[in-house]
Amino acid sequence: MIENSSVWVVSDVDGTLMDHSYDLTPAKDTIKTLQKLSIPIILCTSKTASEVKVIRKELNLTDPYIVENGAAIHGETLKKVNGKIILGKKYELLEEILNSISKEIDYKLTPLNSLNDQEATQLTGLKGNALNLMRDRHWSMPFLNPPSNLQEKINICSKKYNVDIFKGNRMSHLLSKNSNKGKAINALKNYSNIQNIKIIGLGDSPNDLPLFLNSDIRVVIPGVDGPNLNLLEQLKDLDFTLASEPNGYGWKNEINKLLNTLELI
């Protein structure tokens, strides 16, 4: 229960808790340790609720989870709000905004959900039913990364349409201004109504910046080719730890170190 602990682990999933082959094995023992200590593990991801349900099952997690880049929070234990808190705008509305931006920049921005199976597999590595789970999206709009020479124009448009656009490693995300990973963390804190929660935040890319800005302890997880340099630049004025190993290995090492230094174990 989130109400039973003053320390929360809030973690991105792709590239942070697991590598790009979607392997969760390296972090599993550490997750069990956290569970024994009753420290909640709040997954905080651009994935859909349908996708996260599979991961929660594999890890036996029962804590609330933040999906679609902070646009929605789900959890069986969020009883006062019937199991979910919505911060984002409807998918259909975000799609209209994406189309309007496409017209303004004279370049067709392609929603992730418009790709056929073969194209989606090539981009994400997901296959079969995993593609259906990925497409079960309601409050956020991932789209294919545009050519970098259009980025400035897109940023100007995002202000005009009052949305945020984050560029990730694999794709970009268009979101309502009211939804990001940081705003979702704050919504969950308000819901829990406990004071002085210490948030250990873990992430790997610039869409995790709002997560880090709302964390008390920040752990950047590198990939096999090293850390995301844009993210490091954005964090340069803040305290953070860069994990010494990639993905789930870095995740488990840093959490284990923190459990010792915070004397939680």
Q: Is 12 in the site for Mg ion (CB under 5 A)?
A: yes
Inter-axis angle of helices 247-261 and 28-36, nearest 10: 30
Distance in angstroms (rounded) separating the CA atoms of residues 97 and 91: 10
Count of residues engaged in binding Mg ion, rule: CB under 5 A: 5
Quickly list H helices, 106-150: 117-124, 129-135
Instruction: Select the span of 4-12, 25-33, 57-65, 175-183 touching Mg ion (CB under 5 A).
Output: 4-12
Question: By C-beta, is 5 or 70 nearer to Mg ion?
Answer: 70
Cα 126 to chain center, whole Å? Answer: 18
Question: By C-beta, is 98 or 220 nearer to Mg ion?
Answer: 220
Task: Select from 211, 230, 155, 163 the least CA-distant residue to 17.
Answer: 211
Question: Which tokens sit at 68?
Answer: 């679609």
Binder to Mg ion among 10, 15, 55, 182 (CB under 5 A)?
15
Q: Give least dist CB 103 to Mg ion, A.
A: 30
210-239: contacts with Mg ion (CB under 5 A): none
Instruction: Select the span of 5-13, 29-37, 55-63, 95-103 touching Mg ion (CB under 5 A).
Output: 5-13
Binder to Mg ion among 204, 209, 251, 259 (CB under 5 A)?
204
Binder to Mg ion among 7, 14, 64, 254 (CB under 5 A)?
14
* Burial (CB count <10 Å: 0-12, 13-18, 19+), residue 104: middle
- DSSP annotation string for 45-105: -SS-HHHHHHHHHHHT--S-EEEGGGTEEE-TT-GGGTTEEE-S--HHHHHHHHHHHHHHH
Question: By C-beta, is 109 or 171 nearer to Mg ion?
Answer: 171
Instruction: Select the span of 19-27, 47-55, 188-196, 199-207 touching Mg ion (CB under 5 A).
Output: 199-207
Which residues contact Mg ion (rule: CB under 5 A)? 12, 14-15, 204-205
